[in-house]
Amino acid sequence: MGSEVVDQAIVRWRELLAADPVASDPDGLSERLDAHGLIEEGRPLCRVLRPRFVTAERHREEQTMAELVVAALRKALATVESGAIPDELTGGMRDFCRQVRELDPRPEAATPLFLRLDASLARTRLHVMELNSDMPAGEAHNDSVADLFDGLAVTEEFGREFGGRMLRMLPAFDRVVDGALSGAPAGSVIAWVIWDDTPSRIDVLATIAEHLERRGRTVHFVDPRRLETGARGTSLDGAHVGLVIRTCFTPELLDRPDDAAPLLEAARAGTPVINPLGTGPLGRKALLALVTDPGLDLGLSAAERRAVDRHVPWTRLLREGRSTGPHGESIDLMPWVHEHRARLVLKPVHGFAARGVVLGWRVSAAEWEDAIRVGLDGDVVQERVHLQREPYPILGEPGEEAEFFEDTDPFLFDAEASGVLARLSPSEITNVTAGGGVTATMVLGGA
């Protein structure tokens, strides 16, 4: 992490933790995890007993970076939709945008209410590898871990010495929900739409649904086919639906038009949807290829260009033809990708939960060739970011520490950076659905 203050904080936390009786009580910790909704499918989502530490100055830098990178990606998307970029450089993204806009043609449907940048620390700065604009998750888990840590004696003593505060995201999420429901009649319910044939997703969402219900909201997990829309708006089993939260990803809506029709009808009739149906294109990884291509004029401001150059790794659509390499050199892309397996990652243009991600340095040459063949014109290739490993005390193993790869994922609510999801994993893929875990983030100094 490079900060003397952070290094001092880690040492002091370790000392205080050794004197906290809760830290040496595995059964008690397991009960606390369960009480905070941090055990899913029998495994703890938090496996460490320390938050990620960040100085107030670094946190402000990360927030600014997140807002600038998202602004740059928005401009890239607008340039794609204007037709100013050849289709071969975008992987058919303009046609994808057209299909998505047809789901809900209202201008407001293209504006995400919240976003998550997936970033990792390498050397002294964050590198943004992806943007989740469809249905980001993790805010409730972050706040649950913060609540867990705030209940430990070590946190209270540490706070007196360092003045730290845990970052929370549910207040910002609540503002988005409250704003969406502001015009709804009293007694309106929230319909959280999820396909009946993907019930496992509910486990990931239960914590945030329980939070909403504690705030007096009524939440129903339902298949979108159960929604009904008429002259008085959208309803579910006779109850007025004031808000739809969706966990039906954009490609699924396009692939299942008949099943998705009741959701589309509700949105077009004006029922608020989080995230709106037109937000999927902003998360296409082809946009990362566009903003890192020095040959394209996307209308970025000087600050946006600096943020991209500093924080977004070189990315290209996997296709035949010439391009520019990571250092601006002219390359024949496909032969170059074949030759530089150890420094590259392949990812589907639109994917989630680390599905289809191939780390070149983790596979054989033959496996890499197969991945290239399968991914041609449907994947992006991205330069490897050499991630740092950070030591954390292990939950339930007093005095023991282990090193984890650390993701630092800023959230934006209504375009404003507000909170961070810190993901930890012993492997370089940190997605929670792929076996990773979470911890809280503490800003040192209380700023």
User: What digits encode the pLDDT tens for the residues 374-422?
Assistant: 999 889 999 998 888 899 999 877 788 999 988 899 999 998 999 999 9
Query: Does residue 48 register a pLDDT over 50?
Result: yes
The DSSP 8-state label assigned to residue 394 in this structure reads B
| Identity of the residue numbered 334 | M
Q: What is the model's pLDDT at position 23?
A: 75
Do 343 and 335 form a contact (C-beta atoms < 8 A)? no
Question: Taking the model in full, what pTM does it have?
Answer: 0.92
- Stretch 316-322: mean pLDDT: 95
Q: Percent of the chain having pLDDT more than 90?
A: 68
Tell me the CB-side half-sphere exposure of residue 42, using CA atoms within 13 A.
Answer: 0
- Of the candidates 106, 155, 66, the residue with the CA atom closest to the CA atom of residue 416: 66
Q: What is the model's pLDDT at position 446?
A: 53
The sign of the torsion formed by the CA atoms of 303, 388, 169, 239 equals positive
How does pLDDT run across 160-183, given as a tens digit for each residue?
A: 999 889 999 999 999 999 999 998
Cβ partners under 8 Å of residue 363, min gap 6:
341, 371
pLDDT band at 1 (very low <50, low <70, confident <90, very high): very low
- Stretch 361-386: mean pLDDT: 93
Other beta carbons within 10 Å of 198: 13
Cα–Cα distances in angstroms (integers) from residue 242 to residues 3, 79, 230, 287, 408, in the given order? 47, 34, 14, 33, 33
Q: How far is CA 215 from the centre of its chain?
A: 24
Q: What is the model's pLDDT at position 435?
A: 67
Cα–Cα distances in angstroms (integers) from residue 337 to residues 36, 369, 370, in the given order? 45, 10, 13
In order, the DSSP letters of 114-141 are EEEEEEEEETTEEEEEEEE-S----HHH
Q: Is the peptide bond before 142 cis (omega within 30 degrees of 0)?
A: no
pLDDT band at 440 (very low <50, low <70, confident <90, very high): very high
The two tokens of residue 46 are: 């938090």
Q: Which of 255-269, 283-297, 368-382, 394-408 has the lowest mean pLDDT?
A: 394-408
| Identity of the residue numbered 40 | E
Q: What is the model's pLDDT at position 202?
A: 66
Instruction: Report phi then psi at 146, rounded to 5.
Output: -60, -40
Do 247 and 197 form a contact (C-beta atoms < 8 A)? no
Computed over every residue of the chain, the mean pLDDT equals 90
How does pLDDT run across 89-108, given as a tens digit for each residue?
A: 888 899 999 999 998 998 88
Other beta carbons within 10 Å of 393: 20
pLDDT band at 444 (very low <50, low <70, confident <90, very high): very high
Q: What is the model's pLDDT at position 2?
A: 44
Do 131 and 351 form a contact (C-beta atoms < 8 A)? no
Longest dimension (CA), the chain: 64
